[in-house]
């Protein structure tokens, strides 16, 4: 199989979004991903919608977003036969992904010790809501709960009095990304040590791990950041601005870019209140008002063209249909075509990484529940010979 992980087998016991997203990322890198689902309904995200598509409107587009490049087998983890099959699969796998609440996998008979007894080379990725230990270890958590508890909602929205959730399930997605990143590191380490290890992350860790300058504003600067709408917490001008027919975004992150913006808009770039970023930020409300007064003279297309000519970072605020129709999106491989057993040819959001020489990588559609049971068993028997 094509891809950097073409010889890696991933046993995906996870469901919902964080774990499946991590497994999907590994699948995008060429790994064989075997998704284990309960025979009664499978992954819970199969029931999440709308929208639902298909002849009987039974296929969740939510599920389609996190399960490309996988095979599905239906297994009851509580049954004796199911446990035996999982043991066989563990012996033949390189990676196991799970996002059960702390202790669940142990009660099913698959503690870390047991898994490494079956396969000492196994890399185990465990994703939880708030961590597997600590005073609140094992606490259940979904994305929006974690966004609030990890402080992200306090940074998002029009004002400190109106905290907003980020539109995408960013805690889940980042946990999946961090998890896949950890797995690749553990696989590389295994080449030296010959042994696998446990990689742990959580929704709490995923959000806290990307606080970046907001985090150091508090830990070093002693300032508690707060929501500031569509404008940057440290740089001005950097945000969304009104023009004649709507809004556009302008990011002047240094004084050189600011001078270009100011000259274009007829504002004195060297005025004392606007001369440096510190000055501009201190007078940000006045700066926004001056800029929007000038921008009101023309439409978005006019200003984006002029700003582009000057080399100033600027852009539209697109809806998702516009994003997926955009030639630039498609040129980057961010839309992939797959053949679904029920829906036929469909387009899915594509992987964010591109590897030179792998342009011919063929993605597979998210599977129907248990559709690959026979194929996986045949592969497993071949591996065991």
For residue 271, with 0-12 CB atoms within 10 Å meaning exposed, 13-18 middle and 19 or more buried, which class applies? middle
Give the angle 137-138-139 at the CA atoms, nearest 5°.
95
Distances (CA, A) of 339 to 73, 98, 129, 362, 371: 19, 28, 34, 10, 14
| Catalytic residue (one of 12, 43, 94, 172) | 172
**How far is 248 from 299, CA to CA, in rounded Å?**
9
Residue appearing with tokens 């109106």: 162
Maximum CA extent, the chain: 78
**How far is 220 from 68, CA to CA, in rounded Å?**
42
- Give the rounded distance of the alpha carbon of 330 from its chain centre: 19
The dihedrals phi and psi of 113, each to the nearest 5 degrees, come to: -60, -45
Q: Are 21 and 10 in contact (CB under 8 A)?
A: no
**How far is 153 from 130, CA to CA, in rounded Å?**
16
Q: Give catalytic status of residue 374 as yes or no.
A: no
Q: Are 76 and 38 in contact (CB under 8 A)?
A: yes
Q: Which amino acids are annotated catalytic?
A: 172
């Amino acid at each position: 199989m094509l891809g950097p992980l073409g010889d890696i087998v991933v046993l995906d016991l996870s469901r919902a979004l964080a774990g499946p997203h991590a497994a999907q990322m590994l699948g995008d890198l060429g790994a064989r991903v075997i998704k284990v689902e309960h025979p009664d309904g499978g992954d819970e995200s199969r029931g999440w919608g709308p929208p639902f598509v298909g002849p009987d409107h039974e296929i969740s587009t939510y599920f389609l977003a996190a399960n490309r490049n996988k095979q599905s087998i239906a297994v009851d983890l509580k049954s004796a036969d199911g446990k035996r099959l999982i043991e066989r699969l563990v012996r033949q796998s390189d990676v196991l992904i799970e996002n059960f609440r702390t202790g669940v996998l142990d009660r099913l008979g698959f503690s870390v010790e047991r898994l490494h007894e079956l396969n000492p080379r196994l890399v185990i990725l465990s994703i939880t809501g708030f961590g597997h230990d600590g005073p609140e270890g094992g606490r259940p958590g979904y994305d929006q709960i974690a966004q609030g508890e990890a402080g992200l909602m306090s940074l998002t929205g029009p004002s400190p009095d109106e905290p907003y959730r980020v539109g995408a399930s960013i805690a889940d997605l980042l946990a999946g990304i961090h998890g896949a990143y950890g797995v690749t590191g553990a696989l590389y380490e295994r080449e030296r040590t010959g042994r696998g290890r446990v990689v742990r992350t959580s929704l709490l860790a995923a959000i806290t791990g990307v606080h970046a300058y907001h985090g150091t504003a508090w830990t070093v600067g002693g300032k508690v950041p707060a929501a500031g709408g569509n404008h940057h917490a440290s740089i001005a001008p950097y945000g969304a601005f009104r023009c004649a027919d709507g809004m556009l975004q302008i990011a002047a992150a240094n004084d050189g870019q600011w001078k270009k913006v100011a000259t274009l808009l007829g504002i004195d770039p060297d005025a004392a209140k606007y001369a440096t970023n510190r000055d501009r930020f201190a007078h940000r409300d006045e700066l926004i008002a001056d800029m929007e007064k000038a921008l009101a003279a023309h439409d978005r297309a006019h200003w984006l063209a002029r700003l582009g000519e000057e080399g100033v970072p600027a852009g539209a605020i697109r809806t998702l249909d516009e994003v997926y129709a955009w030639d630039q999106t498609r040129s980057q491989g961010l839309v992939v075509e797959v053949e679904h057993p029920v829906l036929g040819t469909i387009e899915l959001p594509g992987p964010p990484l591109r590897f030179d020489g792998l342009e011919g990588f063929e993605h597979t559609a998210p599977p129907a529940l248990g559709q690959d049971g026979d194929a996986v068993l045949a592969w497993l028997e071949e591996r065991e010979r």
